[in-house]
Amino acid sequence: MIKEKISYQHANGKADGIYINAGLGSTLVIFVNGHNGFYNYGMFPYLQQSFYNEGISTYSFNYSHGGIIDDGDFFEDLEKYEQNCMRLEVEDLLSVLEHFNSTGTLSHSKIILLAHSLGGIPAIFGSKKAQEENIVLSGIILVSSVSTLRFWPKEMMESWAANGVVYKKNNRTHQDLPQGFEFLQETMLSETTWNVARALSNLNQPFLIVHGEEDEAVGKEHGQSLFLWVKEKNVKSIFKIIPGATHTYNTRHPFDGVSKEVDELITTCIDWIKKI
């Protein structure tokens, strides 16, 4: 297995990622991380390895404004992190999709997105923009994804609005990470511009929606809402709850071993990918 580091530039930044090619004609799965995710985070290298073992190519990338530099796992660039927002994450994803649409179609039979956590938002809205550019996506997998941007506690929203920035403690790095003003504006527009249900109504791809039964970060009701919004658009859409699974499927960062829950997640995804 050969890992190739590839970056894609757009007007407002650069998405750095790891590409693993499983061969000519293979399906390509593009991983869309959560807001604090990155390509080396926890279970994701294991997912890439597992997909490769089943003949599936993958590309997993860091957001241009995610605050992570190169292969690091500490948020070093807090100035960029504060600027990060859904608009920029959508632009990052679209730059990746535009590249693979122009060159990847020569070697990959289909392209699928796999989004985790808050990554579901750029995946959904990025897919909508990709559709407008005639970029074909064969399916979308939402893993423990949110159904709305309006999930922050009321007190936090009030502080955010009053100050233009709010600091959220990251339990892994113990950093106080700044959430900036544009991200606040997007959150406030969650019922209009950033309305997930409305965006999904414009997408015709089959969806696989997976959620952990014991998700401590994003409750399974988010997955239930997402499935409610997509199930009538495509009969191949599936909702799967994995018993006992946490938000990261009983794994951690640094990755210290597999769990039956993450293996069930992988099996569920691979089986679905091979059927669509």
Mean pLDDT of 188-194: 98
pLDDT in tens, 107-130: 899 999 999 999 999 999 999 999
- DSSP β-bridge partners for residue 10: 13
Quick check: 176 and 241 in contact, CB under 8 A? no
Q: Which two tokens stand for residue 118?
A: 């808050």
Higher pLDDT, 232 or 135: 135
Residue 169: phi, psi to the nearest 5? -70, 130
pLDDT of residue 221: 98
pLDDT in tens, 231-255: 988 889 999 999 999 999 999 999 9
Helix (H) or strand (E) holding 8: strand 3-10
Residues 5, 8, 11: CA angle, nearest 5 degrees: 155
pLDDT of residue 232: 85
> Alpha-carbon distance 164 to 152, whole Å?
15
Task: Tell me the CA distances in angstroms from 196 to 73, 113, 117, 125, 149, one per residue in order.
Answer: 30, 16, 14, 8, 8
Query: Which of 187, 48, 165, 26 lies closest to 116, judged by CA?
Result: 48
In this structure, the number of other CB atoms found within 10 A of the CB of residue 81 comes to: 21
> Alpha-carbon distance 6 to 60, whole Å?
10
Q: Which two tokens stand for residue 213?
A: 């039964």
pLDDT of residue 107: 86
* pLDDT tops 80 at residue 150: yes
Is 3-148+195-275 in CATH node 3.40.50.1820? yes
Q: What is the DSSP letter of 115?
A: E
Model confidence band, residue 13 (pLDDT cutoffs 50, 70, 90): very high
* pLDDT tops 70 at residue 80: yes
- Concatenating the DSSP letter of every residue in 96-144 gives HHHHHHHTGGGTEEEEEEEEEGGGHHHHHHHHHHHHHTT----EEEEES
> Alpha-carbon distance 121 to 198, whole Å?
12
pLDDT in tens, 16-37: 999 999 999 999 999 999 999 9
pLDDT of residue 103: 73
pLDDT in tens, 193-236: 999 999 999 999 999 999 999 999 999 999 999 999 999 888 89
pLDDT of residue 106: 65
Helix (H) or strand (E) holding 108: strand 108-116
pLDDT in tens, 33-61: 999 999 999 999 999 999 999 999 999 99
Residue 242, C-beta contacts closer than 8 angstroms, at least 6 positions apart: 210, 211, 212, 213, 249, 261, 264, 265, 268
